[in-house]
Amino acid sequence: MAALVLDGKQCAKETEERLAKQVAELKDRTGGTPILATILVGADPASATYVKMKGNACRRVGMDSLAIELPETTTTEELLAKIDELNNNADVHGILLQHPVPEQINERACFDAIAAHKDVDGVTCLGFGRMAMKEPAYGAATPAGVMRLLEAYDIELEGKHAVVVGRSPILGKPMAMMMLNANATVTMCHSRTQNLADIVKQADIIVGAVGKPELIKADWIKDGAIVVDAGYHPGGIGDIELAPLYERASAITPVPGGVGPMTINTLILQTLESGLKQLG
């Protein structure tokens, strides 16, 4: 059987068309434009590219982006002051602090300084807790994008065994909580997990969120599984050995073009939702 390809690029494009209409209506009604503030600390080329892509996505739907670039030598206190300034700027509706930051900065303190109503990337402890308890919150953008992609293709999670490989605070952990909230039975695996292959073989849904190229092997994954690869590495490969699975899985997210486009798309969607609330 050929796997159903979960096309994140197409799904994001269709969503952008809808968002552009909503932004235009909001501008007509209120005269305001949703604005996403992006903070880039240092000159990491990959991070700079990601920030640029997010700004471009804002502009494609008629929103604005405020790009803030800080030097590599920025301290925690200086970054916290900038975040506080943006929290108090009524013209800014969402705040994104690009990960990672230089090592001298307390990243968690800076994430948690972002006001909850502007945490459109879902990085704060408060936002995570509210999401996990099924209270209103902006979910972490990548796992929320995965959930939207699965929903777009009517993939049911209830009662399924989902195995999430990776436990990062902005991907693996919120992914597991979102799937648990969708009534899946969830197993989380990580660098200390023993017999990883045996656990992966039990998965109805496997999520690669570990950040290591093709760590998860195709022969670990049972026929008919739903395969979600949230990794991206040079050469266009993900965290899962995908090539052999196109003929064995029931559904698969390609790399590139699967989860990646949905991450940025979810960030833009949540910024618009924040703008709608703040602009009335």
User: What are the structural domain ranges in the chain?
Assistant: 31-122, 141-259
Angle at 98 between CA 97 and CA 104, to 5 degrees: 85
One fold for 31-122 and 141-259:
yes
Q: Which amino acid is at 265?
A: N
Integer angstrom CA distances of residue 108 from 55, 105, 137, 211, 217: 24, 9, 18, 20, 32
pTM: 0.95
Nearest CA among 105, 4, 96, 84 for reference residue 58: 96
**Residue 162 to residue 188: CA distance in whole angstroms:** 9
Burial class (CB in 10 A: 0-12, 13-18, 19+), 157: buried
- What percent of the chain is modeled with pLDDT above 90? 96
Write the DSSP symbol of residue 66.
E
Mean pLDDT, to the nearest integer, of 186-194? 97
The more confidently predicted of residues 140 and 280 is 140
The CATH code of the domain at 31-122 is 3.40.50.10860
CATH topology assigned to domain 141-259: Rossmann fold (3.40.50)
- Residue 134 CB neighbour total at 10 angstroms: 10
> Order of strands across the sheet with 35-41?
64-70, 35-41, 94-97
**Residue 256 to residue 253: CA distance in whole angstroms:** 8
Residue 240's pLDDT is 98
> Mind listing the pLDDT tens digit for each residue in 8-64?
999 999 999 999 999 999 999 999 999 999 999 998 898 999 999 999 999 999 999
Q: How confident is the model at residue 1 (pLDDT cuts 50, 70, 90)?
A: confident
Query: What is the average pLDDT value for the chain, to the nearest integer?
Result: 96
Nearest CA among 35, 59, 6 for reference residue 258: 6
> Mind listing the pLDDT tens digit for each residue in 202-213?
999 999 999 999
Q: Quick one: residue 220, left, alpha or beta (phi over 0 = left, psi -120 to 50 = alpha)?
A: alpha
**Residue 116 to residue 113: CA distance in whole angstroms:** 9
Mean pLDDT, to the nearest integer, of 242-263? 97
- What percent of the chain is modeled with pLDDT above 70? 100
Integer angstrom CA distances of residue 262 from 7, 102, 129: 9, 26, 22
Evaluate whether 271 touches 58 at the Cβ level (below 8 Å).
yes
Residue 221's pLDDT is 98
Evaluate whether 270 touches 93 at the Cβ level (below 8 Å).
no
Q: What are phi and psi of 161, to 5 degrees?
A: -95, 110
Angle between helix 125-132 and helix 172-181 axes, rounded to 10 deg: 20
> Mind listing the pLDDT tens digit for each residue in 207-238?
999 999 999 999 999 999 999 999 999 999 99
- The set of catalytic residues is 54, 98, 121
**Residue 266 to residue 164: CA distance in whole angstroms:** 20
Residue 244, C-beta contacts closer than 8 angstroms, at least 6 positions apart: 218, 219
> Mind listing the pLDDT tens digit for each residue in 95-145?
999 999 999 999 999 999 999 999 999 999 999 999 999 999 999 999 999
Residue 261's pLDDT is 96
**pLDDT at 280 exceeding the cut of 80:** no
